[in-house]
Amino acid sequence: MSEIPAAPMDRILRNRGAERVSFESAKTLSEELEYIANNIADDAINICNYAGRKTITKKDIEFAVNNFKKKYM
């Protein structure tokens, strides 16, 4: 079960032009985005720990997002 609700995924798909959205498609998008978010969070935590800090900063997230994009996009 995903931490991200399916309803916002439905809205995102509709806002992008989908006429109809099945619950399963919204749920799947939610699960995939959670997978991406977990990867970015893990990377940001590793960056923070490497720097000897306990607080994750905006820059940690931005760096982790850029790393994710380089790996997968």
Query: What is the pLDDT at residue 73?
Result: 84
**Global pTM?**
0.88
**Would the pLDDT of 1 be above 80?**
no
Residue 30 contacts residue 9 (beta carbons within 8 Å): yes
Q: What is the pLDDT of residues 15-67, one digit of tens each?
A: 999 999 999 999 999 999 999 999 999 999 999 999 999 999 999 999 999 99
Sequence spans of domains, the chain: 6-72
Query: What is the pLDDT at residue 72?
Result: 86
Looking at domain 6-72, its CATH class is mainly alpha
**Would the pLDDT of 2 be above 90?**
no
